[in-house]
Amino acid sequence: MKTVSAPPKTYRVKSFGCQMNVYDGERMAELLGERGIQPAPEGEEADLVILNTCHIREKAAEKVYSDIGRLVKAGEEAGKKPLIAVAGCVAQAEGEEIMARAPAVSIVVGPQAYHRLPEMLDRAANGERATDTDMPAIAKFDALPARRKRGPSAFLTVQEGCDKFCTYCVVPYTRGAEISRPFAHLITEAQKLVEAGAKEITLLGQNVNAWAGEDDKGAGVGLAGLIHALARIDGLERIRYTTSHPNDMDEALIAAHGEVAKLMPYLHLPVQAGNDRILKAMNRQHTAESYLRLLEQFRAVRPDIALSGDFIVGFPGETEAEFEDTLRIVDEVRYAHAFSFKYSPRPGTPAATMDGQIAPELMDERLQRLQARIAQHQYAFNQDSVGKSCSVLVERTGRHPGQWLGKSPWLQSVWFEGDHAIGDLVEVTLAEAGPNSLRGLVAALV
């Protein structure tokens, strides 16, 4: 039976997963804002809740169902029925299943279709349930409204999708094929972000270094060309990019790290594993050695570059000796930071049906060993930074009055005291290191 309901007045967007989902969440919020729908006040149930989901690992994907249950319950307690929309990668991968399993959900919208959210809201107000998981050739960005003011550090999606098909990964299925947004659109969006107060922009893409386009003179350029052009925007002080794939690196991007002062000395370059048999089974199409050689090239042009990576432990068939190769590569690279995960079999991916699935307890044990090793290197990197002077971009207030928190060029969290404001770039000397943050002394006070 159809029930016609009042259009929502307030919304909440909950984004899970990667930074691209955070970016998409912001853009959906902007779309709703254009329609006069306001963010729900803190502590109040929203009329419309968008769960912007992640499908990368089983735990992340299951979260959506528990969240829907919680929302329905909270709504009942508050005497209202929230309009629930499921967006993001679970929506893309399991849209029909969500509609069947969760009658409380009115809208299912995939990551390439959310610009059509307003029409879907109209249909939902008419009591219809709507699913849109089309993957049009990137009409989305053209249909989105202008950027709104946010913090001093902003995300900008430049590339989406993945053609790599690593055997464990759902991204090529949930985000579709690789596409690059046009150069001119990106320059305009970056200018708007800077006008709205951004000092730092992080360029996002599932394979951000696969970005390719034509610059304002019609010349073919890669990510390095885009970075050079962005660096010419007055008021933009810092540029970052994530996530890169080793096989999409080119000479120009490596060189840019030595040429563009605004490009921060930080590189997130996942390797996933340190053993070549495992890398092959993962279909990574690079070896441990070729990865290490690539990092040497970055270190040659930017010796202080902070390196970061992603790792998977317990890929099907991984032996103890093969796992130890992962520990070895971690020691060799001395990462400033890294993410590590237990392998999670994802429906429809080749690895999910491979022989030699690893027992959960063994994965736990390997993950603990790997994380301990990564933590050692992160702490050592922070300790080695003590005594350096650098700029910190103030992102928020600290725990105590007069304290500020921000990021160093190497993406470390730095706290310090003084008379500052969010968005300031403050010169500090790094005075003391902890495992996860550093204390800075403001240069004038040193």
Query: What is the contact surface with ligand SAH in residues (CB under 6 A)?
Result: 56-57, 162, 168-169, 171, 206-207, 243, 245, 270, 272, 310, 312, 341, 343-344, 346
Minimum CB separation of residue 170 from ligand F3S in Å reads 6
Looking at 109, 166, 227, 330, which residue binds ligand SF4 (CB under 6 A)? 166
Nearer to ligand F3S, 170 or 392 (CB): 170
Compare residues 178 and 200 and give the one whose CB is closer to ligand SF4: 178
What are the beta bridge partners of residue 415? 405, 439
**DSSP-based three-state secondary structure for 327:** helix
Among 290, 255, 252, smallest CA distance to 269 is for 290
For the CB of residue 268, give the shortest distance to ligand SF4 in the complex, in Å: 12
> Is the CB of residue 210 less than 8 Å from the CB of residue 250?
no
Does the N-terminal peptide bond of residue 10 adopt cis geometry, omega within 30 degrees of 0? no
What is the C-alpha to C-alpha distance for residues 28 and 46, in angstroms, rounded to an integer? 15
Whose Cβ is closer to ligand SF4: residue 346's or residue 420's? 346
Q: Nearest distance from residue 290's CB to ligand F3S, in Å?
A: 25
Minimum CB–partner distance for residue 165 and ligand SF4 (Å): 6
DSSP structural state of residue 326: H
Q: Is residue 439 within a helix (H) or strand (E), and if so which, with residue range? A: strand 437-442
Residue with tokens 């430049």: 158
Q: Which does 57 bind (CB under 5 to 8 A by kind): ligand SF4, ligand F3S, ligand SAH, none?
A: ligand SAH
CB of 207 to ligand SF4, least distance (A): 6
- Give the Cα separation of 147 and 149 in Å (integer): 7
Q: According to CB under 6 A, which residues from 50 to 79 bind ligand F3S?
A: 54-56
C-alpha distances in Å from residue 407, one per residue of 20, 149, 326: 20, 20, 28
Query: By rule CB under 6 A, what string of x and - marks binding of each residue 136-175 to ligand F3S?
Result: ----------------------------------xx--xx
DSSP 8-state code for residue 10: E
- Residue 20 in the binding site for ligand F3S (CB under 6 A): yes
CB closer to ligand SAH, 371 vs 403: 371
Q: What distance in Å separates the CA atoms of residue 95 and residue 80, rounded to the nearest whole number?
A: 25
Between β-strands 83-87 and 48-53, what pairing exists: parallel, antiparallel or unpaired? parallel
Segment interacting with ligand F3S (CB under 6 A) among 5-13, 17-25, 69-77, 306-314: 17-25
CB of 158 to ligand SAH, least distance (A): 14
**Nearest-angstrom CA–CA distance, 254 and 6:** 54
How far is residue 359's CA from residue 347's CA, in Å, rounded to a whole number? 18
Q: Is residue 172 a contact residue for ligand SF4 (CB under 6 A)?
A: yes
Residue linked to tokens 């319950």:
73
Q: Does 279 bind ligand SF4 (CB under 6 A)?
A: no
Parallel/antiparallel/unpaired status of strands 389-397 and 337-342:
unpaired
Give which of 90, 158, 89, 91 is closest to 120, Cα–Cα: 91
Are the C-beta atoms of residues 59 and 23 closer than 8 Å to each other? no
Residue 18 as a binder of ligand F3S (CB under 6 A): the answer is: yes
Q: Is 199 in the site for ligand F3S (CB under 6 A)?
A: no
366 binds, among ligand SAH, ligand F3S, ligand SF4, none (CB under 5 to 8 A by kind): none
- C-beta of residue 275 within 8 angstroms of C-beta of residue 284: no
Give residue 197's region: left, alpha or beta (phi > 0; psi -120 to 50).
Answer: left
Tokens 């080119």 appear where?
250
**The entry of ligand SF4, ligand SAH, ligand F3S, none that residue 20 binds, CB within 5 to 8 Å by partner kind:** ligand F3S
Measure Cα distances from 195 to 192, 200, 233, 240, 324 in Å. 5, 12, 10, 18, 49
Output 206 or 408, the one with its CB closest to ligand F3S: 206
Indicate which single residue of 91, 117, 171, 227 sits in contact with ligand SF4 (rule: CB under 6 A). Answer: 171
344 binds, among ligand F3S, ligand SF4, ligand SAH, none (CB under 5 to 8 A by kind): ligand SAH
- The residue (of 153 and 344) whose beta carbon lies closer to ligand SAH is 344
Segment near ligand F3S (CB under 6 A); pick from 13-21, 41-49, 351-359, 390-398: 13-21
Q: What is the closest distance, in whole angstroms, from the C-beta atom of residue 284 to ligand SF4 in the complex?
A: 7
Minimum distance from CB of 236 to ligand SF4 (Å)?
A: 27
Site of interaction with ligand SF4 (CB under 6 A):
162, 164-166, 169, 171-172, 206-207, 245
